[in-house]
Structure formats: structure tokens, C-alpha cells
Homo-oligomer: A and B are copies of this chain.
């Protein structure tokens, strides 16, 4: 008998999904946690955790956990001493890389064409050209993090005529294949920041990427550059970004992730000029829930059959990336 505990980050699992999981094997017990309390109560006899919503709280109490299926493409932020001690199989989910890449490209274009200014003028019922200081059409994009999302984004940018400079921790032929220039594990990327008309962040959150985009890095971007973060909020020093935008540096910035989250509706991050925020929706599309659930059902079938899981990313790898 195995027990599976569901704790998805974006809404509850559908009933048919839970039913389908129960039917995978007769002796499979399926529990859904919609609160931390319920998650912790199921911890002790859970073999498999699907989703990572209450993972940090649950881990101290697990006794037979063998596998964690994260819903993220970059689950590095889940690394903890408990995760290293328990050391389950860890799998991620790369099904939505193209959706996130398209969201990132849309954010950049929206800033270039001043769509947020148009929405604000529209809300005031004002028909006026004046606030529309459009940005030049970009020639060169820099992508920090050339994993599954970064590579999708590189392909979109190149087919639209941009040159792509990739920055990655470690050389990979897959990353090399989609970038015009690839910078690895050294600081030479810094000297190329001034070339970036667009700068995309798709990095996971690790010790070495935390607040990586600090004031020095942000200031090294061209004055007209557009910055887009669809990776992890903690990679950007939000306070530094806000003050740099207030000073008039950067053509614009878009954040789909903000960490720490804005403390209140009066947080300056909401109102600083040329900053566009989408509330962690880059992964969303009409088929999101359906595709996520189909992917996870397939993974559970593989697991119970003893087949190799897809998208394995070992806990050791997360620790190594620090």
C-alpha cells in the first residue's frame, strides 16, 4: 500500500484527477491537503508528495517519503537541510516552458510599446499621444539562465530577428545550440550587459543567484534596456530596481515574480514608473490544469510500474548549484 499526498500551489486538483489517481492501483491511497495542518497530519505515512506547497512544513514529519513531484521547472528554492536529510527522488515539471517563454516575450513587447501607459490613459478616459515615449526595437537580448524556459525564449527571440546572449552556470550543448553567444561560469558576461536591449531572467533561486541582480548589475544595463523576470523573485533586489527606475534608469521592467511579496497596497513596487507586474501568472493558460494533471498522472503510473520518472532533478544537483 502506498500513500500519495497532493498539495498543488495553483488551486485545488480537479475531482477527476483525484479519481484517476485512485484508479492507477487499487491499494493506492490519495489524500489532498488544502491547508498546512492537513498536509502535516498526512506526513508520517506518505510515500509520494505531488506539488510542493507545504513541503517545508511537512518534511520534518515524513518517515517513508520516497518521491516529491514539484510543479515548478526550477525547484531549487525548495532545497533545505530537511530535504537533503530525507533525500527523496525529486522531479520537476517542464511542460509549461513555452508558455512561460511567451509570457516573458509578451511582457517585453508590452513595455516596448508602452501598453501599461495606454491602459492607464484608457482608465482615465483620455485620448492623448503624449506619454508614449516608445522604446527602440531591440537588436540584442541577454538571457540569464538557459534551462528549459531560457531555451524556449531564445528560440522565440531569434526567429524574431534578435541576437541572443545566454548566461549559464555551466556549459551545455543544448544552451549553446540556441544562443548566438554563451557565457559560462565566469564574469565576462558583466562586460556584455551594456549590449542588452532586453534582459530576461529565468534563473532558479540558489545561494549564488540570490539578489544576483543588484544595483551594480542593474546599472550596467543600458538606460533604454527592458528587464523581465519570470524566474524567481529573490534573484532581483527589488528595492534597488525600484530606486533605479525612479531615477529614470532602464526603459522598463516587468516582474512576474516578486520576493518578498509587496507588503501592502501602498508598497512602492506597485506604483514606480515603468514597472509592470503580473502576479505569477506566466505559467497560466487555458489548458494549464489539464496538462499539469495529465503529466502528473503519467508520472504516478511510471512510478508505480518502477519505470524511470521524467524530469528528475536530484537533490544533490540543487545542492551543487549553490
Contact for A129 among B109, B124, B281, CB less than 8 A: B281
Do A106 and B116 touch (CB < 8 A)? no
Question: Given the known A-B contacts A129-B280, A160-B156, are A115 and B112 also in contact in the complex, defined by CB atoms under 8 Å?
Answer: no
Interface residues on A, range: 35 or more
Q: Within 8 Å of chain B (Cβ to Cβ): is A305?
A: no
Contact for A136 among B115, B128, B287, CB less than 8 A: B287
Contact for A106 among B102, B113, B125, B156, CB less than 8 A: B113
A160–B161 Cα distance when bound, in Å, is: 11
- Looking at the assembled complex, report how far the CB atom of A258 sits from the nearest CB atom of chain B, in whole angstroms: 8
A263–B124 Cα distance when bound, in Å, is: 13
Q: Within 8 Å of chain B (Cβ to Cβ): is A270?
A: yes
CB contact list, A84-132 vs B, under 8 A: 99, 102-103, 105-107, 109-110, 112-116, 118-129, 132
Q: Would you give the 0/1 interface string for A263-283, flagging 1 where the beta carbon is closer than 8 Å to chain B? A: 011110011000011111100
Q: Within 8 Å of chain B (Cβ to Cβ): is A320?
A: no
Q: Within 8 Å of chain B (Cβ to Cβ): is A137?
A: yes
Residue of B nearest to A135 (CB): B286
Contact for A119 among B112, B120, B132, CB less than 8 A: B120
Contacts of A134 in B (CB 8 A): 281, 284-286, 288
- Looking at the assembled complex, report how far the CB atom of A251 sits from the nearest CB atom of chain B, in whole angstroms: 10
Contact for A159 among B116, B121, B160, B277, CB less than 8 A: B160
Contact for A113 among B103, B128, B136, B279, CB less than 8 A: B103
Contacts of A261 in B (CB 8 A): 127
- Looking at the assembled complex, report how far the CB atom of A280 sits from the nearest CB atom of chain B, in whole angstroms: 7
Contacts of A135 in B (CB 8 A): 285-286
Contacts of A115 in B (CB 8 A): 106-107, 110, 115-116, 119, 276, 278
Contacts of A286 in B (CB 8 A): 133-136
Question: Given the known A-B contacts A105-B109, A285-B137, are A277 and B118 also in contact in the complex, defined by CB atoms under 8 Å?
Answer: yes
Beyond A106-B113, A113-B278, 8 additional pairs, beta carbon < 8 A: A113-B281, A118-B277, A119-B119, A127-B279, A132-B278, A133-B286, A134-B284, A156-B160
21 contacts between A and B (CB under 8 A): A10-B129, A106-B109, A106-B115, A109-B109, A110-B110, A113-B278, A114-B281, A115-B119, A116-B119, A118-B276, A118-B277, A119-B120, A123-B270, A125-B264, A125-B271, A127-B277, A128-B279, A134-B285, A137-B285, A159-B159, A159-B160
Residues of A with Cβ closer than 8 Å to B? 10, 99, 102-103, 105-107, 109-110, 112-116, 118-129, 132-137, 156, 159-160, 258, 261-262, 264-267, 270-271, 276-281, 284-288
